[in-house]
Amino acid sequence: MNSVRPSIHLHHPIPNGCQSRNQASHGIRARLGISVDPRRNERPNRSIHLPQVLSNLIDLHLGTFLSSGPDTIAPSYLPEVDVDQMTPTMSPKEDIPVKCHGIHSLSNWDHLIDPLHPWIRREIVKYGEFAQATYDAFDFDSFSEYCGSCRYNSQRLFKQLGLTKHGYKVSKYIYAMAHIDLPGWMERSHLAHSWSNDSNWMGYVAVSDDDESRRIGRRDIVVAWRGTVAPLEWYEDLQRKLEPIGDGDVRVEHGFYSIYTSKCDSTRYNKSSASEQVMGEVRKLLNLYKDRGEEVGLTITGHSLGGALALLNAHEAASSLPDLPISVISFGAPRVGNNAFRDRLKEMQVKTLRVVIKQDVVPRMPGIIFNERLERFEEITGTLDWLYTHVGTELKLDTRVSPYLKRGLNMLGAHSLETYLHLVDGFSSSATGLRVDARRDVALVNKACGMLVNELRIPESWYQQANKGLVRNSYGRWLQPKRDIEDIPSPCKEDSPVLYLNC
């Protein structure tokens, strides 16, 4: 049987420094991952890795569409960069119990998104900061004994990250593993006797306190899911295989589902799966506050891979707790399931707000080549169970509206959650630029990337521990410190009789 080989035709101007179109062609082929010999005018080697070609082709396309390079400074027609240092970094809170139905009710978001209502904007940023906390507290230092865990115990998490202003308390940590090889999402220590070789801290469950519950009009249970430290790497690790879940035609991506459901009796932290951990805690909190006669709702948030896990979590919660109002607010999330998965979530009245940046590639995965084109013909072809599709209402952002962000191709910066939160805080409508009274600190954008224009003088990837975590002992030698005993991760009560400090 003859195999079909990809045929790619590129029409790009000759790059600077190339003396001929032949040299330019060699450069483009090399960036696409196609083997060429620059010394001879020969046909490229067709034995190539197609996903790598497609991924590199995205780089070329976006680079041509946006500008000449990642270091391009904002054009001169944009407003002068001016950051007011003497203003608060967040908008004031409003009491919104009457308006809460617009945020968490079973109606659609559409009438509140474009233009974006101010109190909706603030709530989106709040949940985005809950998702950002899963990165800020995550230990991904491979030289650390506790690589892959949270740096702080659950009682100290929000205090350490300055999130006490939101009025929530963490009630449980979530750990995840996978029964398939997905090396791009898993962080492991180099040390042989690390805290865990098969589990990672994947997020947490939190609940609103009395004051916040009065403000928003209900007791709010929040689940925040962590994405990956290097999110652009796991695209190659996706199985791109739709797996059936439940009854009917509902199918979801095999790799995401494995992370959500995998468990193993021989592990210390995943004797129960992430699914079982989170649903057990949600049920416990729901019963607690329902018994008090309170109205309770569930909001699930996550960025990147975390946004995919948020949808799987919402599907399970809606299936098993049909009377619980459920909302999902995701940032830069990939596609998760097929059309039947989307339709099932809609039938169960799960409200989903999907925040995406136009220049971010991850929300187009999996299925960047086929999905957008074939979905246009759904009326003719009918529902195609093997296609991936997005879920819910989309809030689309554009990096080009902000005078603080660099122009040019910056895939990491465009996918960064802090870039998302900067653009949400500045968004008024699709017809206007960045609002002049945006409050959020612009410097946060460069926490883990270099997206800000140089005029702001904010260093790239500045968010890190002092001396990269090393401390000097009493003899003057630098070494990795031991954690305080209260911050050492321990299994949860049902798994072990040891101290339960970080679960």
- What are the catalytic residues? 304, 360, 415
Question: Strands 478-479 and 471-472, how do they pair?
Answer: antiparallel
What one-character DSSP code corresponds to residue 149? S
Q: Which helix (H) or strand (E) holds 26?
A: helix 21-32
Question: CB count, 10 Å around CB of 78?
Answer: 18
Count CB atoms within 10 A of the CB of residue 227.
Answer: 29
Cα–Cα separations (whole angstroms), residue 439 to 92, 350, 425 = 10, 30, 7
Is 466 buried (19+), middle (13-18) or exposed (0-12) by CB count in 10 A? exposed
- Angstrom CA distances, 449 to 13, 70, 105, 411, stand at 29, 12, 36, 10
Burial state string for 384-422 with b = 16 or more CB within 10 A and e = fewer than 16: beebbbbbbbbbebebbbbbbbbbbbbbbbbbbbbbbbb
As given in the structure block, the two tokens for residue 267 are: 């592990």
Q: Which two tokens stand for residue 389?
A: 């599709």
Measure the CA–CA gap between 18 and 26, rounded to whole angstroms: 10
Tokens of 15: 């790059």
270, 277 contact by CB (below 8 A):
no
Q: How far apart are CA 426 and CA 56, in angstroms?
A: 31
Local structure of 396: helix, strand or coil: strand
Tell me the C-alpha distance between 376 and 38, whole Å.
41
**Residue given tokens 């989903």 in the structure block:** 352
Q: What is the dihedral of CA 106, 111, 113, 118, to 10 degrees?
A: -90
- DSSP assignments along 426-460, one per residue: H-S-TTS-S-TT--S-GGGGGGSS--B-GGG-PPT
* H or E segment and range at residue 371: helix 371-375
d(CA 47, CA 55): 16
